[in-house]
Amino acid sequence: MSSPLPTVCLLGFHFSTAAHISTVVEEIMQDVGTPGVRHLITPNASQVVYYNEAHNLPLKAFYTHSRFILPDGMPIVWLSRLKGIGNLHRLPGSDLFPELWPHIRAKALPAVFVLPNEEIAQRLKAEYPDSSVIVPRMFARDDDAYIAELAAEVARAVLATKARFVFLGLGFPKQEKLGMQIAARLGEAADHSVLILLIGASFEFYYGFKMRAPSWMQESGLEWLHRFLQEPGRLWKRYTVDSFRFILLALRDLFRRGDRG
């Protein structure tokens, strides 16, 4: 495995300080061939809030050790600058997948996908027929029995295909619970490199089911407004209640010393 990218510690996570997503992709591809099960997560401000809820602390304890932790959200970037501990750049999963995907296809690397619906699954299979795609039934975030069943199914697919990548495209905390259980299921059974990527709605953006904000909105920290206007009923809590809770977490963190990883 290559040397880890430099990181900055904020809010209990060691965020990558890579200036561009291509640097992360290069590091990911260098890891291929090194045995072990690793994770990549892309926390945004709302997810940081959820990770700090009492019932999600086991998830936080697990994912703080992820191989790659990418800052997906300008509030996280701004906090790093306020603390003066590093110049973070926003590295969203929706930017990562389009950069990484051509490398996987070019090298014909086996990959397993857990996707939110059949239409996305069909498009991905048409693009890369050798991929393994699983579309779970609708399930609640606290349906631990089904999450365990799904994790077992994914682990079997990984072992059968020698998959190097597992892409999880579900919401928080479903994909987080699933990713943790997949790793537990694989254990020492996986004698090859496996990177489990938790990238949420990235596939919906990639295939045009949801629209990204214009570049100027992304760069100025206004992408949240674009997304809110698209899905106000689903996202109102994220951009009101969760934003206030993030500010409280950030203020606490602001007065703690941030260490460079």
Residue pLDDT, tens place only, 133-151 = 999 999 999 999 999 999 9
Residue 259 lies in a domain: no
Contacts of 111 (CB under 8 A, 6+ apart): 104, 128, 131, 132, 163, 164, 165, 166, 167
Q: What pLDDT score does 55 carry? A: 93
Residue 224 lies in a domain: yes
- Domain count across the chain: 1
**Do the domain assignments include residue 20?**
yes
Q: Of 92-101, 166-175, 217-226, 239-248, where does mean pLDDT reach its minimum? A: 217-226
Position 211 confidence tier, pLDDT thresholds 50, 70, 90: low
Determine the structural domain holding residue 47 and report its residue range. 7-202+214-254
DSSP string, 209-232: SSPPPPHHHHHTT-HHHHHHHH-H
What pTM does this model have?
A: 0.88
> Is residue 74 included in any domain, yes or no?
yes
Closest CA to 167 of 29, 63, 36, 40: 40
Percent of the chain surpassing pLDDT 70: 84
Residue 178 lies in a domain: yes
Q: What is the CA radius of gyration of the chain?
A: 18
Q: Coil, strand, or helix at residue 88?
A: coil
In sequence order, the 6+-apart residues with CB closer than 8 A to the CB of 250 are 11, 75, 79
Tens of pLDDT along 63-86? Answer: 999 999 999 988 899 899 988 887
Q: For residue range 7-52, what is the model confidence (pLDDT) as tens digits?
A: 999 999 999 999 999 999 999 999 998 999 999 999 998 899 999 9
pLDDT band, residue 191 (cuts 50/70/90): confident
